[in-house]
Amino acid sequence: MARRIPLSPQAQAVLAAMPSRRTVLRGALAGGAFAVAGGALAACGTKGTNGNTAGPSAGPLCTVADLSATERKVAFSNWPAYMDEDEKNAEVHPTLVAFKAKTGIDVSYTADINDNNEFYGKIRSQLAACQPIDRDIVVFTDWMAATFIRNGFAAKFNPDKVATFAKNLAPTLRSRQFDPNMEYAAPWQSGLTGIGVNTGVTKEVRTVDELLTRPDLKGKVTCLTEMRDTMGFMLMSNGKDPGNFTTADFDAALEKLKAAVASGQIRRFTGNDYVQDLAKGDIAACIAWSGDVIQLGFENDKIKLVTPDEGMMLWSDNMLIPITSPHAANAMALIDYYYDPKVAAELAAFVNYVCPVAGAQEEMVKIDPDLAQNPLIFPNAEMQAKIKIFKPLTEAEEKEYTGKFQAAIGA
Nearer to another protein, 159 or 219 (CB): 219
* Interacting residues with another protein between 360 and 399 (CB under 8 A): 395-396, 399
Tell me: does residue 269 bind another protein (CB under 8 A).
yes
Q: How far is CA 251 from CA 63, 81, 231, 241, 264, in A?
A: 43, 36, 10, 14, 20
Nearer to another protein, 171 or 410 (CB): 410
Q: How far is Cα 82 from Cα 85, in angstroms, rounded to an integer?
A: 9
* Interacting residues with another protein between 87 and 106 (CB under 8 A): none
Nearer to another protein, 16 or 166 (CB): 16
CB atoms within 10 A of CB 282: 16
Collapsing DSSP to helix, strand or coil, 279 comes out as helix
Tell me: does residue 69 bind another protein (CB under 8 A).
no
Q: At closest approach, how far in Å is the CB of 406 from another protein?
A: 5
Tell me: does residue 203 bind another protein (CB under 8 A).
no
Q: At closest approach, how far in Å is the CB of 61 from another protein?
A: 14
CB 322 within 8 A of CB 138: yes
Q: At closest approach, how far in Å is the CB of 259 from another protein?
A: 12
Count Cβ atoms within 10 A of the Cβ of residue 312 and give its class: 0-12 exposed, 13-18 middle, 19 or more buried. Answer: buried
Tell me: does residue 402 bind another protein (CB under 8 A).
yes
Stated as kind and residue range, the H or E segment containing 221 is strand 221-224
Parallel, antiparallel, or unpaired: how do β-strands 266-270 and 221-224 relate?
Answer: parallel
Tell me: does residue 35 bind another protein (CB under 8 A).
no
Tell me: does residue 130 bind another protein (CB under 8 A).
no
User: How many residues contact another protein, by CB under 8 A?
Assistant: 54
| Among the listed residues 5, 45, 369, 370, the single contact to another protein using CB under 8 A | 45
Nearest CA among 215, 224, 205 for reference residue 303: 205
Q: Which stretch binds another protein (CB under 8 A): 138-146, 261-269, 329-337, 342-350?
A: 261-269
Query: What angle do helix axes 116-128 and 142-150 make, rounded to 10 degrees?
Result: 10
Tell me: does residue 31 bind another protein (CB under 8 A).
no
Sign of the C-alpha dihedral computed for residues 87, 73, 353 and 194 taken in this order: positive
Residue 54's contacts (CB-CB under 8 Å, 6 or more residues apart) are none
**Residues forming the site for another protein (CB under 8 A):** 13-14, 16-17, 24-29, 33-34, 36-38, 40-42, 44-50, 117-118, 147, 151, 218-219, 261-262, 264, 266-269, 273, 276, 280-282, 395-396, 399, 402-403, 406-411
